[in-house]
């Protein structure tokens, strides 16, 4: 009788621990699972671009696919928020989701800018080259094959054209400081693009410039954010409206997201919440 009681007690102690262990194991993601997540994130935008560029790609189809893509991004973001493995890759995938979400929100209103496509493609290239098989990563390879088959620009060619255009824009930019290094000026152009297309906070722009995505020096990044003429209140409001429309978040949850994840100041977040329904 005592042995049975002891066995029962051991089971009561061990079983919850097994459940916790299994739950933790399911939440964490392997490298191959993170690659699959990358491909799903990529396909939300690449699939939208394929519809947009197809002969029968009506605006209603583009908008419908964008809405479905946003749901996919929300699902992937939830999985990544629970993952404790591959921390650098996990962090880069979260940033990748933000870039994809920015594109799809514009696609919902059928108003995508070339800079948004270039930012997405560049992020896709950086992650696939840094963590996976580069151009042979499934979503990258599939899109490039589709582009060649249908006579459209593949990812590498698109980025080369975008880079040439940015260089041309920079050559036309005048500055009173003749001794400003070229990489500082380039960082400023890139910072302006992030603010315009993704409505980032000052700190988020700075962090993005020095990340593995852009690899600017801390000095160039600081010059960029210090010389960027931006209304960060307006950026915070744009982000808040995006969270409200795509994730149905409460004002308080949006405020926390703006200050914790997006890195806006408390004052900028307050402005956004106060004007959310204005």
**Which token pair is 2?**
């005592």
Confidence at residue 125, expressed as pLDDT on a 0 to 100 scale:
93
Confidence at residue 175, expressed as pLDDT on a 0 to 100 scale:
44
Instruction: State yes or no: pLDDT of 223 exceeds 70.
Output: yes
What residue spans define the domains of the chain? Answer: 31-151, 179-274
Confidence at residue 9, expressed as pLDDT on a 0 to 100 scale:
54
pLDDT tens figures, 242-258 = 888 877 889 999 999 99
More confident residue, 195 or 165: 195
Least confident of 16-25, 53-62, 127-136: 16-25
Mean pLDDT of the chain: 85
- The full DSSP string for the chain is -HHHHHHHHHHHHHHHHHHHHHHHHHHS--HHHHHHHHHHHHHHHHHHHHHHHSTT--HHHHHHHHHHHHHHHHHHHHHHHH--SSHHHHHHHHHHHHHHHHHHHHHHTT---HHHHHHHHHHHHHHHHHHS-GGGSHHHHHHHHHHHHHT---HHHHHHHHHHHHHHHHHT---S-TT--HHHHHHHHHHHHHHHHH---HHHHHHHHTSTTT---HHHHHHHHHS----HHHHHHHHHHHHHHHH---HHHHHHHHHHTS---HHHHHHHHHTTT-
Least confident of 33-37, 94-98, 137-141: 94-98
Instruction: State yes or no: pLDDT of 20 exceeds 80.
Output: no
Tokens 């690899």, residue?
A: 215
> Residue 121: which pLDDT band, with cuts at 50, 70 and 90?
very high
Among 211, 195, 260, 256, smallest CA distance to 92 is for 211
Report, as an integer, the average pLDDT of 2-12: 54
Kindly report each contact of residues 72-81 with a partner whose C-beta sits within 8 Å and lies 24 or more positions away, as own/partner: 72/40, 72/41, 72/44, 73/41, 73/44, 73/97, 73/100, 73/101, 73/104, 74/246, 74/247, 76/37, 76/40, 76/41, 79/29, 79/37, 80/29, 80/37
CA distance 223 to 238: 24
**CATH tag for 179-274 (out of 3.40.640.10, 3.55.40.20, 1.10.10.10, 1.10.1200.10):** 1.10.10.10
pLDDT tens figures, 186-219 = 999 999 888 888 889 999 999 999 988 789 999 9
């Amino acid at each position: 009788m005592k042995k049975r009681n002891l066995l029962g007690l051991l089971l009561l102690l061990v079983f919850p621990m097994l459940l916790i262990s299994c739950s933790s194991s399911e939440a964490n993601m392997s490298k191959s699972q993170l690659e699959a997540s990358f491909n799903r994130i990529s396909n939300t935008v690449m699939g939208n671009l394929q519809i947009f560029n197809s002969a029968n790609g009506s605006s209603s189809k583009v908008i419908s696919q964008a809405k479905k893509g946003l749901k996919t991004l929300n699902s992937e973001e939830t999985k990544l928020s629970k993952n404790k493995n591959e921390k650098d890759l996990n962090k880069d995938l979260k940033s990748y989701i933000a870039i994809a979400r920015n594109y799809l929100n514009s696609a919902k209103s059928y108003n995508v800018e070339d800079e948004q496509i270039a930012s997405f493609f560049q992020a896709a290239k950086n992650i696939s080259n840094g963590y996976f098989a580069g151009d042979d990563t499934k979503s990258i390879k599939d899109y490039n094959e589709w582009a060649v088959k249908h006579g459209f620009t593949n990812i590498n060619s698109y980025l080369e054209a975008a880079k040439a255009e940015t260089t041309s824009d920079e050559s036309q930019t005048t500055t009173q400081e003749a001794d400003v290094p070229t990489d500082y000026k380039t960082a400023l152009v890139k910072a302006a693009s992030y603010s315009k297309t993704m409505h980032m906070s000052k700190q988020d722009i700075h962090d993005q410039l020095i990340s593995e995505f852009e690899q600017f020096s801390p000095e160039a990044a600081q010059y960029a954010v210090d010389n960027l003429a931006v209304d960060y209140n307006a950026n915070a409001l744009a982000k808040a409206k995006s969270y409200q429309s795509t994730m149905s978040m409460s004002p308080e949850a949006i405020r926390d997201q703006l200050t914790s994840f997006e890195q806006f100041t408390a004052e900028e977040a307050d402005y956004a919440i106060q004007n959310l329904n204005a």
